[in-house]
Structure 1
Amino acid sequence: MSDTPLPTADAGSLPPADHGPTLAVPVAHEPVSRLLPLQFTASGSEYFRIWIVNLLLIVLTLGFYMPFAKARRLRYFYANTVIDGHPLAFHGDPWKMLRGYVLMLLLFGGYSLSGHLSSWLSVAVFGLLALLWPALWRSSLRFRLSNTSWRGLRFAFEGDLKGAYRAMLPLAVPTLLILVANAIALQGVDPEDTKAMSDAMLKVAAWNGGAMLVLMAMLPWSLTQIKRYQHNGYRYAGQVARMLLNPGPVYAIGGIAFAILLGGLVAIVVLVMLAAVIGGALGSFVPGGKAGAMVVGGVVMALVFLG
């Protein structure tokens, strides 16, 4: 055999190997999130002019201008809500809003009138309202979102009807039971019989007081369900909204609000008692006797409290 080496070639001079057709494999990327700056550019003076004109026209039209006022207000607020440099826009037709507004007037007007005619008629009309309200509420959300746009694209609401009833019934059912209990307590009572009417009203007051405590305890949870249904139904350009609200923070806010309300009521009671004490002490020195002294004492204590 010869010791002559075999000829070699540079890698760059070799022809490319033919491995057949190639397949491009997409590389998975993590979804990119971006915070969009939000600005509200409206001014109080501009909105005051809109508000005062709306109020005047509502009064002059006996309330029938309300949908037009609402459409005008929404257009102003939306045009001044700027997200990532682009404002929102509202395209709702106030004449279509007027039809829904008239329907609400008829329903709530009928309920108000029924209360003066018969307790059981009031229960029946409220039951009708409870059956219709979730569907009407869902319809209003769909109208509102479909007439709201950003960067030329419309929003949408895709919450289902079953979810609307599931969100609303926890408040409607206890209220209906309260009305039924009141109708039972007042059934057969002669309005001219003062004692019987007084006893019936005491039962109604006791039942309503207990039921209101139950409703207040349920209210934060019910509001959480309502807000979840509402915000989880929002859609925009294939994007799905999600609201991860738990009842705990809502109960905390409700507890703080209740504590402030209770504290205000206690302060008023203490103020009245101190005004009575001061009035009794100064009754002989202030014009008007004890009544005038109580007024002076109330003013003094109010100034101390506010100070």
Structure 2
Amino acid sequence: MIEHEQAADTAVLPDAALPAAEAADLGTPAPLRFGFSGSGAEYFRIWIVNLLLSVATLGIYSAWAKTRRLQYFYRNTELAGASFDFRGDPKAILRGRLLAVVLLAAYHYAFGFSAMAGAITVAVLVAGLPFMMRSALRFRLSNTWYRGLPFGFAGGTGAAYRVYALPIATFILPGALIALMPDTPIVRAIFLLYLGWPLMHGAMKVYQHGNLMYGNQRAAFGAGIGELATPYVVTFVAGIVFAVLYGIVVYVATSTSVAGPGKIAGPVMIVVAVLLLYLYFILAALFVMVRMNNMAWSDTGFPGVRIVSSMRLRSYFGLQAVNVLLTILTLGLYRPFAAVRTWRYRLAHAHVEAPDGFEAATGQAGRRSASAAGDGSAEFLGLDLSW
């Protein structure tokens, strides 16, 4: 019920929930707020130990570091008087990471051996990654617990291939075709697949959120693929406007740099234009992330329970700008504090509504049967993707 993104002082909801008195006047229970009892200084001690041990073991300890990190954030996150927990086996995560390293190395070096080896590697990746991503979702969720019950993922294998195969091919095939058939029209045409990314991303969100489980209760998800793709349309239109303005600035800069005072003004304007271009791409990426996060979670609910997310672009951009600046100034040592601040922000801009009472709603959930949970296959891979 909380987003697992890469990761968060005590979380409050100044603008994400109705005041208790107002809710009472309306005859509905007050929205439930998430709380976080951790701190940046406390997490820093965990983070620095994780980092040192991961370096000393050449990355092997990173699986245990990931488990410790998730346990810290989950166990310090509270909703309605109960905390979350993560119970994943680090050895399962390690197996998944070793498999990922092998596949990544194979993709990177296969074409250096032969075109056939490269083609086989690409085929294996396109065929295997959708199954692995589904297993990763099942592992992560089945090991996330709340009030004595695990979450889960009910998405089928066939649906995983329908959702993930095309995005995976979109990112893998261009590089493979450049290696196999350079300077051919098909190489340029394959990049057109990127135009479908907004719909692909929307389909992945529908698959992920529409198959969430809590105990034996399955989530209801109301958003459609087209609706989830709308943030990309907004950024595309804004990009056209920005491109026109950017072109005007560049034209003025280059035309005034020929002679006279423009020799100084021109280069300065070009630098400003480049900085504005970077700023646009950063804002566009954050806008899509914030809007899709809000839409996806606000359209996710369990029987008797509705989740609401209300992140804001301006405040989230300010948060991340400060995080990046302080991380750079401290040579990376601020990173755990940044993670805590981000986690707090996400919790502070989410709440849960249960019109008929939260206790009654969660009491409806029971434990899934062993066959339905399918935790065995999930534990085998344990890739633990964040989303």
State TM-score, norm by structure 1.
0.66
**Counterparts of 2:95 and 2:133, CA distance in 1:** 14
Q: Which moved more, 1:294-303 or 1:153-162?
A: 294-303
Per-residue CA deviations over 1:25-68 (Å, capped at 9, x if unaligned) read xxxxxxxx988624142545555555555455545554444323
Letter in 2 for 1:230: Q
Q: Is the 8 A contact 2:174 2:190 kept in 1?
A: yes
Mapping of residues 1-307 of structure 1, within 5 Å: 37-41=32-36, 42-44=38-40, 46-47=42-43, 50-51=46-47, 54-55=50-51, 57-59=53-55, 61-172=57-168, 178=174, 182=178, 185-186=181-182, 200=183, 203=184, 207-213=186-192, 215-261=193-239, 268-282=246-260, 294-298=266-270
Deviation at 1:124, TM superposition (A): 1.6
Aligned mates of 1:264, 1:93 — CA distance in 2: 48
- Alpha carbons of 1:177 and 1:140: their partners in 2 closer, same or farther (altered >3 Å)? closer
How far has the Cα of 1:261 moved from its partner? Answer: 4.7
Rounded to whole Å, the distance in 2 between the matches of 1:241 and 1:37 is 18
Alpha-carbon distance change, 84 to 170 in structure 1, aligned in 2, over 3 angstroms: same
Q: Give the residue type in structure 1 aligned to 2:209.
A: H
| Aligned 8 A contact 1:275 1:301 in 2 | no
Where structure 1 has 5 or more consecutive residues not aligned to the other structure, the ranges are 1-32, 187-199
2:111 and 2:179 in contact (8 A); partners too? no
Q: CA deviation at 1:246?
A: 0.6
> 1:141: Cα distance to partner?
1.8
Task: Sort the Cα spacing of 1:279 and 1:62 in 2 relative to 1 into closer, same or farther, 3 A.
Answer: farther
1:145, distance to aligned residue in structure 2 (A)? 1.8
Unaligned runs of 5+ in 2: 1-27, 280-387
Based on CA coordinates, which of the two structures has the bigger radius of gyration? 1
Q: How many residues align?
A: 250
Q: Give the distance between the partners of 1:182 and 1:254, measured in 2 at CA.
A: 28
Contact 1:278 1:297 in 2 (8 A): no
CA distance in 2, matches of 1:136, 1:300: 44
Kindly provide the amino acid, as one letter, of the partner of residue 158 in structure 2.
K
CA shift in 2, pair 1:222/1:298, >3 Å: closer
Structure 1 position 262, deviation (Å) = 5.0
SS in 1 for 2:123: helix
CA contact (8 A) 1:82 1:88 kept: yes
4+ aligned runs moved over 6 Å, structure 1: 33-36, 300-306
Identify if the C-alpha distance between structure 1 residues 162 and 257 changes in structure 2 by more than 3 Å, giving closer, same or farther: same
CA contact (8 A) 2:181 2:187 kept: no
Shift of residue 168, structure 1, vs aligned partner: 1.6
Deviation at 1:148, TM superposition (A): 1.0
CA distance in 2, matches of 1:34, 1:161: 39
RMSD of aligned Cα (Å): 3.6
Give 1:110's aligned amino acid.
Answer: A
Q: CA deviation at 1:183?
A: 5.7
Corresponding letter in the other structure for 1:123: A
Counterparts of 2:270 and 2:195 in 1: how far apart (Å)?
35
C-alpha separation in 1, matches of 2:123 and 2:276? 50
CA distance in 2 between partners of 1:153 and 1:96 (Å): 21
Separation in structure 1 between the aligned mates of residue 228 and residue 104 of structure 2, nearest angstrom: 29
Q: Which one-letter code corresponds to 2:135 in the other structure?
A: S
Q: Deviations over 1:206-248 (max 9, x none)?
A: 54443323x2332232223322322333222321112222122
Aligned mates of 1:108, 1:302 — CA distance in 2: 33
How far apart, CA to CA, are the structure 2 residues paired with 1:171 and 1:272?
Answer: 35
Q: Once the 2 structures are TM-superposed, how far is the Cα of residue 137 of structure 1 from its aligned partner?
A: 1.6
Structure ranking higher on relative contact order (CA contacts 8 Å, 6+ apart) = 2
